[in-house]
Amino acid sequence: MNDQLSCFDFHRVGDIEVARIPVRARRTDPATSREAGDSAREMAANHRNQILQLLQKVYPLALTHDEIDDRCGWQHPAAARRMKELKDDVVIVGQQRTHTGRLGSAYRARVT
């Protein structure tokens, strides 16, 4: 029996179901790759949880992914990589200037 999570398995990290994250290692990869994938899975879930908590805290203010990075102390583009995974929990409410001067999506926590 293989103890590696399949794409249909899940566990919770904080308020986030880890199953939303694609498997980050192939079944044929060595054990170290699977361990790295598990580590990345938990880090991504932790990032999503932090993003959601931040957006709930600053509500009704909307933030771009680079503003989220700055407030969380992350390097760009850490938050941008998680936003698609948060599609059920956040809403795009417009555009704001990013640190590059370009327009970027402004995210707000979804109110339920």
Q: What is the mean pLDDT of residues 31-52?
A: 86
Q: What is the mean pLDDT of residues 61-87?
A: 94
CA distances from 86 to 7, 14, 24, 99 (A): 18, 14, 18, 22
The per-residue pLDDT for 5 is 41
Distance (Å, rounded) from C-alpha 61 to C-alpha 83? 16
pTM passes above 0.75: no
Report the topology of domain 12-109.
Answer: Arc Repressor Mutant, subunit A (1.10.10)
The per-residue pLDDT for 111 is 86
Antiparallel, parallel or unpaired: β 90-97 and 103-109: antiparallel
For the chain, give every domain's residue range: 12-109
